[in-house]
Amino acid sequence: MKTEKINDQKFMSLALKLAKKSNPSPNPRVGAIIVKDGKIIGKGYHKAAGEAHAEVVAINSVRDKNELKNAILYVTLEPCSHYGRQPPCTDAIISAGIKNVIIGCEDQNPKVEGIEKLKQAGCDVKMLNDQECHELNEAFFNWIKTGKPFVMLKLAMTLDGRIATKTGDSKYISNSQSRALSYAWRDNFDGIMVGIKTVLVDNPRLTSRAPGAANPTRIIVDSKLRIPLTSQVLEQNARRIIATTDKYDKEKKKQLESLGVEILVLKEEKTYYVDLKQLFDELGKRNIISLMVEGGAELATALLEQKLINKAAFFIAAKILGSGKNAFDGSGVERMDDALQLKNVSIRKLGEDVLVMGYF
pLDDT tens for each residue of 127-150:
999 999 999 999 999 999 999 999
Q: Buried b vs exposed e over 278-288: b needs ≥16 C-beta within 10 Å?
A: ebbbbbbebeb
In the chain, the DSSP E strands lie at: 31-36, 39-45, 72-77, 100-105, 124-127, 150-157, 162-164, 191-195, 217-221, 240-244, 262-265, 268-269, 273-274, 290-295, 311-316, 325-326, 343-350, 353-359
pTM: 0.92
Element (H, E) at 113: none
Phi/psi for 126 (5° steps) reads -120, 130
The single residue of 51, 55, 106, 116 carrying the catalytic annotation is: 55
Is residue 17 classed as helix, strand or coil in its secondary structure?
helix
Active site annotation includes 67: no
DSSP letters along 249-301, please? -HHHHHHHHHTT-EEEE--EETTTEE-HHHHHHHHHHTT--EEEEEE-HHHHH
pLDDT bracket for residue 7 (50, 70, 90): confident
Judging by beta carbons within 10 Å of its beta carbon (0-12, 13-18, 19+), is residue 130 exposed, middle or buried? buried
In this predicted structure, the answer to whether residue 3 has a pLDDT above a threshold of 60 is no
Strand 273-274 and strand 268-269: the pairing is: antiparallel
User: Does residue 84 carry a pLDDT above 80?
Assistant: no
At residue 5, the pLDDT reads 66
